[in-house]
Amino acid sequence: MLPISSCLASFALVTLATCAPLSGEQSLGPIPGQTPIYNDYRGIVAPFPGNISGATLPTARATELFNASSFTAAGYPNNTYDRIVEIRDNEAGHLNIFYREISNTSIKPGRCEYEYGFESQGVDFFLAEQTFVELSSISFLSGLVIQAVEDTSRAALLVVAAVETRHTAWALTNVWNTNPFAGPADTAYPWPNQILGLTVQFIQNGSCPKENPAYPYPSDQKAGLSFNGTFSTAHPGDKIQFEFPHGEPCFEEDKEYYAVFIHELNNVTQAFDTKTGVSEVSAAFDSNKGLIYAVIADKSGAPDLDSMLAGPLTLLQQPALLTTVIGGT
């Protein structure tokens, strides 16, 4: 079983805030492997009870807002809409899988309302946001493996992460016409609730039931970190200037601080100038592969949450085009 703190399925589901209170006999919708709906259903209505999560899935909302011609008119392959529907069905299946793995003592909050941004921005923004979420979810799920208690839960996390990787490979190849390979390993991030915390931006203020606990629960959030104030990227060997949009941490005058960069299974500590906010992304990383996470810490390597002062900041390595589509929002 997953630990009590983990009422979640996939990062792409924003699940911690969408879990509805369940009774022992309540149906969770179609069961993967026991119904063909996940293989051949291509309807608009989400294949999962809307009172639980169906209407809140980003892909579910996209299939309701857009149709096949929305994507072909924008220059995307003819099968793009069908693939998005299939991803939606996969995510609904993930929700079912993890409901079965979550401990009965876990907190299951009521549903909130969401705004993803693509509702007004269109299919380009949706595809960029969806790809970024898929890339991030791989790091999120790998971090949850550390928290899982039972071997069956670890196995479930592994196979779901594999499906997220297939989604990402499809998007990078068919949508973005770029190399889908991320090097010998995707980036593993050890504090998954921090990645989950990035989804707070999608929740409409005041829409959650007042009985809901804080989200994420528990919250591991640190001071916000940005790169020159934009959703942008930097590559191995680049010098970058960090900014703190919600207030700078309290840096002591005679103490050393570090910028710690996490890529694939590597953790590299770089010097950090507290006066200028400047550091350099490690040139040792594979170039143009996957994601790099950056945090500011008061100990080399940011060995634990207590040593982390700000972050994480996501530096997207592939595809670079995503930063053009999402940037400035």
Rounded distance between C-alpha atoms, residue 230 and residue 222, angstroms: 18
Which one of 2.60.40, 3.20.20, 1.20.120, 3.90.1570 gives the CATH number of domain 226-326?
A: 2.60.40
The domain ranges of the chain are 11-202, 226-326
pLDDT > 60? residue 2: no
User: Which stretch of 56-65, 99-108, 172-181 has the lowest confidence by average pLDDT?
Assistant: 99-108
User: Which residue, 327, 265, 255, is CA-closest to 293?
Assistant: 265
- pLDDT tens for each residue of 212-262: 878 887 777 787 777 654 445 789 999 999 988 878 899 999 999 999 999
DSSP-assigned letter for residue 306: G
Which pLDDT does position 212 carry in this prediction? 82
Ramachandran area for residue 253 (φ above 0: left; ψ -120 to 50: alpha; else beta): alpha
Which pLDDT does position 175 carry in this prediction? 94
Distance of CA 6 to the CA centre of its chain: 15
Which pLDDT does position 8 carry in this prediction? 36
Q: Where is pLDDT greater, at 200 or 285? A: 285
Rounded distance between C-alpha atoms, residue 193 and residue 213, angstroms: 14
Q: Where is pLDDT greater, at 230 or 208? A: 208
Compute the CA torsion angle 59, 60, 66, 69 (nearest 10 deg).
70
Tokens of 229: 């104030």
pLDDT > 80? residue 26: no
Q: Where is pLDDT greater, at 46 or 139? A: 139
Q: What percent of the chain has pLDDT over 90?
A: 37
Whether residue 245 is preceded by a cis peptide bond, meaning omega within 30 degrees of 0, is: no
Average pLDDT along the chain: 80
User: Which stretch of 34-48, 95-109, 183-197, 267-281 has the lowest confidence by average pLDDT?
Assistant: 34-48
Which pLDDT does position 229 carry in this prediction? 44
Which pLDDT does position 295 carry in this prediction? 95
Q: Which residues contact 228 (CB under 8 A, 6 or more apart)?
A: 240, 241, 243
Rounded distance between C-alpha atoms, residue 270 and residue 278, angstroms: 10
Distance, first Cα to last Cα, the chain: 38
Per-residue confidence band for 32, with pLDDT thresholds at 50, 70 and 90: low
- Quick one: average pLDDT of 282-288? 92
pLDDT > 60? residue 113: yes
pLDDT > 70? residue 15: no
Q: How many residues does the chain have?
A: 329
Please report where in the chains the tokens 């994507």 appear, as a residue.
Answer: 71
Which pLDDT does position 292 carry in this prediction? 93
Rounded distance between C-alpha atoms, residue 309 and residue 259, angstroms: 10
Identity of the amino acid at 186: D
With beta carbons less than 8 A apart as the criterion, state whether 89 and 38 touch: yes
* pTM greater than the 0.85 cutoff: no
